[in-house]
Amino acid sequence: MKTERGIAGLDCELPVTEGKLDLWRELFWPVDWLQLRTSSVYRGTGLVLGDGRPVVLVPGFLASDASMFEMHRWLKRVGYDARMSRIGRNADCPDVILEILEERVAAVAEETGRSVTLIGHSLGGIMARALAVKRPEIVSQVITLGSPVRPGEVHPLVLSLIRAAARARPLPEDSPRAHEDHYHCGTCSCALGEALDQPFPADVPHASIYSKSDGVIDWRSAVNDAPGVNVVVNSTHVGMTVSSEVYEAVADLLASASEINYPMAA
């Protein structure tokens, strides 16, 4: 197997290898959505309702906030102050994406006066973990969906898409990225990788939701070390954003933290 460095296209990030994963399983992600729409958890039946806590949703590689629309709507319906990430399509220099996400989460924390729960899918979960390391005072909880947290195997097609996306985009220093009323530039110096190399903050609860039916990543790479929580579900990788089992797990994880008051640190 050929070893690649950089799950998001940079040499300093998590090492991954091309693995013989069952990518064909991902064709069945619409089944996850259909099961969600007919489930009691989608209607909120039997769930502990939310306490209005702010939650920011972070999409996966090549995806935009649209991929989190169903979960966003559901979270608002069951009592959480759900927000989109506003990072655009998650296919740019990871350092730029992380900076934009940091601005967004900091703004939500300032607006609400509370630190923020992050729910990230795939690469979005890696971004969420990195932000918690970088700015633990504005992050109250991290929940990742099918996100690698250790070296492991990734389907070769996914690695090809990562390399293609990296080749297609100019560096931020050559073409600064417009964002609201300002620009992001730099050299893609791997702040994301540096953050991931640091210990995860002990006072920020983190949980990994993973599936042994994942056709994109080796599920073993998504398993947290203690004291992190791990929840296994039956879902495709793509379908984790629309899976009834994932939603039930997210509801339980959010409720388990509901008794903790998360004011924004001064």
**CATH entry, 22-151+175-256, from 3.30.930.10, 1.10.150.120, 3.40.50.1820, 3.90.1150.10:** 3.40.50.1820
Helical pair 29-37 and 244-256, crossing angle rounded to 10 deg: 60
Residues in Cβ contact with 21 at an 8 Å cutoff, skipping those fewer than 6 apart: 153, 154, 155, 214, 215, 216, 217, 218
**What tens-digit pLDDT sequence spans the chain (266 residues)?**
333 334 444 444 455 667 778 889 999 999 999 999 999 999 999 998 999 999 999 999 889 999 999 999 999 999 999 999 999 888 777 888 898 999 999 999 999 999 999 999 998 999 999 999 999 999 999 999 999 887 777 877 777 776 666 666 766 565 555 555 555 565 566 666 677 778 899 899 999 999 999 999 999 989 988 667 999 999 999 999 999 999 999 999 999 886 554 566 54
Q: The pTM is what?
A: 0.85
Distance CA 62, CA 170 (A): 16
Distance CA 29, CA 197 (A): 32
As beta bridge partners, residue 4 has: 16
